[in-house]
Amino acid sequence: MFRTPIKHCRNCGASVIYRVPDDGDTRERAVCPACVTIHYENPLNVVGTVPYWGDKVLLCKRNIEPRWGKWTLPAGFMELNETTLEGAARETVEEAGAQFEMEDLITVLSVPGVGQVHMFYLARLTSDVFDPGHETIEARLFSEDEIPWGEIAFRTVRETLERYFEARRRGAFEVHNLDIR
């Protein structure tokens, strides 16, 4: 597993043991022998946008690890108490300083190897002026043939961009569900 195993109960602090709970579950979980709390580990949600201006998309050059200096779509981990749409909009403001109108979902990408689900929405830019935050070196518009494909930070971003440009050429957008293994 890619994550550090749970060692202590979040409720009482006792050391947990890994076993299949007695409640009919079928997966091994961290179970507290003292207070019988079952600790479930679930995927993290990553939310972002494909901001577009005419025939161009906005990419951000990363100023953080992983993949410092590589290009990505504005995206990040969803926070508690926000919807996927709200999280995607927040990340776009934080990373690109963009002005936009949120549109439909375009990709849902399951990445089980790292315990994540990535969701990208279309975002129609209302200005071509950007004020990127500290996580971004540069925010810039690219046409499809200008995109630095060899410098894209993550496969989920590449897959989303490919689906976006394909749909744009067809003139019909739909939601794409992809598994990244």
pLDDT, tens digit only, all 181 positions of the chain = 456 899 999 999 999 999 999 878 999 999 999 999 999 999 999 999 999 999 999 999 999 999 999 999 999 999 999 999 999 999 999 999 999 999 999 999 999 999 999 999 999 999 999 999 999 999 999 999 999 999 999 999 999 999 999 999 999 999 999 999 9
What are the two backbone dihedrals, phi and then psi, of residue 43, each rounded to the nearest 5 degrees? -65, 155
**Do 112 and 158 belong together in one domain?**
yes
* Beta bridge partner(s), residue 110: 117, 179
Residues 54 and 35 in one domain: no
What CATH number is attached to the domain comprising 9?
Answer: 2.20.70.10
Same domain, residue pair 63 and 149: yes
Length of the chain: 181
Instruction: Return the biggest CA–CA distance within the chain.
Output: 60
Using DSSP's 3-state secondary structure scheme, residue 150 falls into helix
Look at residue 100 and give its three-state secondary structure.
Answer: strand
Same structural domain for residues 83 and 123? Answer: yes
Same domain, 31 and 109: no
Strand pairing class (56-62; 71-72): antiparallel
Residue listed under structure tokens 């776009």: 92
- Domain residue limits at 144: 44-179
Cα(45)–Cα(80) distance, rounded to whole angstroms?
10
* The model's pTM: 0.92
Q: Are residues 58 and 37 in the same domain?
A: no
Asked if residue 50 and residue 22 are part of one domain, the reply reads: no
Considering the domain architecture, whether residues 23 and 91 belong to the same structural domain is answered as: no
Q: Are residues 37 and 86 in the same domain?
A: no
Total number of domains in the chain: 2
